[in-house]
Amino acid sequence: MRWFFFILLILAAAILEAGNLLNLIAFSQGQIRPSVLTILLVFFSLRGRPEQAVACSFAVGFAADLAGSVMGPHTICFGLIGSILSQTQGMLTLRRPAYQVAVVLVASLLAALSSQWLALLKTAQQTPVPFTVLAGSALYTAAVAPVLWPLLNLLWKSLIKPRSPRGARDRIGHV
Amino acid sequence: MAFRKIHVSPGSMFITLLIAGFLLLWLPQSFTCHLNFLFVRIFDPLLRLGRQVEMETVRSRPARQDSIQQAEHNKLWKAYQNLHAQYRALHQEYESLARFRKELPRPWPGLVLARITSTTRGPRHELIINKGSDHGIQPGQMVITEANDSIIGTVREVSSQLSRVRLLTDQSQNMEVRIRRPGRDTEYPGRLVGDGKSACRIPLLSRDYDLREGDVVYAAPRPGLLEIPLVVGEVTRVRHDDEHPLLWDITVKPIDDPYTQTVVAVIVPADFEAEKK
């Protein structure tokens, strides 16, 4: 995998999450916005090899923490969710948009709820974000997923290194 | 090369990264917030993309009447309410001075002007401003509009060069306020909390209090942070609390929209100003 391009990609997504551009498509006075990083998490967890998927999940979580205001919660939650998703690669194939929506919705809800709990634990704040806002953002993220999925499929081709032709030559040599 | 031959199993990688994640979570927020501020500093120009469009969108929303007249009305209304509050404070001060000779306090110790670097409008309502602890800014200090006539939030976290401001509408905002009706001397204390959208609430107020729509809400003076009451907003709805029939459920509309501001001021203690000089 081309890690440099991968880092650029998640940095771009983190800038989108932390910046003002997504406010232009937000609902409910800016409260409900899609999370590009959650879509990246699901995509890379299901596309990469298991060790790549684990590393990608934690890296995307770290980027989500950077874009937020508390370090740690997203790294842990995204890492856990991504690692679990990577174990389901044989069972889950997200070719149909409906499956993409379902998996992103569940992952998004789980990530939002668990990371918020950890963030409250760390900062000792007493006012959590209401569940309606978290659920709305998760729904919006899931709705956006089928739009971004084909783009990510295109990007994936440039992110993976082309297979070395050495193996083929070796086989020809043996023949 | 040798490092290319190192193969880490997914399990070992997972455990290592999970421990790193927990370490990050365990480190104190005052330490790890510098990473967030570093991210904002590096990508500041990119984070500001779209802010201008958003500001224009907010400004172009139709007001209750004519937008220009409404803005003018708001400005005059705030000036009047602040003058009235200052007059009351000065009057009380004068009465004390009649008995004790002492120096009149300044309206506020010192102001640090800061530019808004980026805004957060999701579940949390926050601003990041381009001044930090090097300029005397500390958590808890009040942030006011450029015209110095209303409060829009409080400082939540600081780094040396940047600060994070929690807006009045943020759900974790909790500020001591006073409610007063124009033309009356009676004032009621309360605690203002954000509703997470575009307004605030004042819960747990007894229905014995005579409160109505149009009453003015001021931030309560706090020694070292705010010497005089400063207007926050206006009561826009007063109704009975459904869960607690003996209490009011009050909605307050902040008078200024922080998302349309480009520059704000932070009230800092006078001793820092003196040290700087």
Let me know: does B153 contact B273? Beta carbons within 8 Å. Answer: no
Which uninterrupted H or E stretch holds A150?
helix A131-159
**What Å distances lie between residue B154 and B87, B91, B118, B165, B229, CA to CA?**
25, 28, 16, 6, 15
Percentage of the residues of chain B whose pLDDT score is greater than 70? 82
Query: Minimal Cα–Cα distance from B46 to chain A, Å?
Result: 7
B58: tokens are 């907010």
Say what the pLDDT of residue B21 is: 93
Strand, coil or helix: A20: coil
In this complex, how many residue pairs, one in chain A and one in chain B, have their CB atoms less than 8 Å apart?
141
Say what the pLDDT of residue B99 is: 53
Q: Which of B25, B49, B198 is the closest to A72 by Cβ?
A: B25
Using CB atoms and an 8 Å cut-off, which of residues 137-166 of chain A contact chain B?
137
Q: Which of A30, A53, A72 is the closest to B122 by Cβ?
A: A30
Say what the pLDDT of residue B101 is: 42
Rounded to an integer, the average pLDDT of B209-219 is 87
Say what the pLDDT of residue A165 is: 58
Residue to substitute from A28, A41, A54, A140, interface B, most B β-carbons within 10 A:
A54
Q: Hey, are the CB atoms on A133 and B36 less than 8 Å from each other?
A: no
Q: Hey, are the CB atoms on B49 and A61 less than 8 Å from each other?
A: no
Q: In this structure, what DSSP letter does residue B2 have? A: G
Q: How many other CB atoms are found less than 10 A from the CB of residue B244?
A: 13
- How does residue B224 score in pLDDT terms, banded at 50, 70 and 90? confident
pLDDT, tens digit, 9 for 90 and up, residues A105-123: 999 999 999 999 999 888 8
Percentage helix, strand, coil for chain B under 3-state DSSP, each rounded to 5: 35, 30, 35
Minimum mean pLDDT range among B7-16, B117-126, B155-164, B165-174:
B117-126
Q: Which of A14, A70, A129 is the closest to B123 by Cβ?
A: A129
Query: Minimal Cα–Cα distance from A6 to chain B, Å?
Result: 18
Q: Which of A66, A123, A134 is the closest to B35 by Cβ?
A: A66
Say what the pLDDT of residue B109 is: 63
Fold of domain A3-160: Arp2/3 complex 21 kDa subunit ARPC3 (1.10.1760)
Strands (DSSP E) contained in chain B are 110-120, 126-129, 142-145, 151-158, 163-167, 174-180, 187-194, 200-206, 216-219, 230-240, 247-254, 263-268
CA of A58: which chain B residue's CA is closest? B17
B61: tokens are 């929303």
Say what the pLDDT of residue B97 is: 55
Numbered ranges of CATH 2.40.10.350 in chain B: 111-277
Say what the pLDDT of residue A105 is: 95
pLDDT, tens digit, 9 for 90 and up, residues B51-68: 766 676 666 655 555 555
pTM listed for this prediction: 0.73
Q: Hey, are the CB atoms on A68 and B36 less than 8 Å from each other?
A: yes
Q: Which of B10, B53, B126 is the closest to A50 by Cβ?
A: B10
Strand, coil or helix: B139: coil
pLDDT, tens digit, 9 for 90 and up, residues B188-210: 888 999 888 888 988 888 888 88
A88 in B contact zone (CB under 8 Å) = no
Written as tens digits, the pLDDT of chain A (175 aa) is: 788 999 999 999 999 988 888 888 888 777 788 999 999 999 999 988 888 899 999 999 999 999 988 999 999 999 999 999 998 877 777 778 888 999 999 999 999 999 999 998 888 776 788 888 899 999 999 999 999 999 999 998 888 877 665 544 444 444 3
Cα(A55)–Cα(B122) distance, integer angstroms: 28
A132 in B contact zone (CB under 8 Å) = no
CA of B57: which chain A residue's CA is closest? A24
User: What value of ipTM does the predicted structure carry?
Assistant: 0.85
Give the start-to-end residue ranges of the domains of chain A.
3-160
Contact list in B for residue A61 (CB cut-off 8 A) is: 21
Computed over every residue of chain B, the mean pLDDT equals: 80
Q: How many other CB atoms are found less than 10 A from the CB of residue B212?
A: 9
User: Yes or no: is domain B111-277 CATH 2.40.10.350?
Assistant: yes
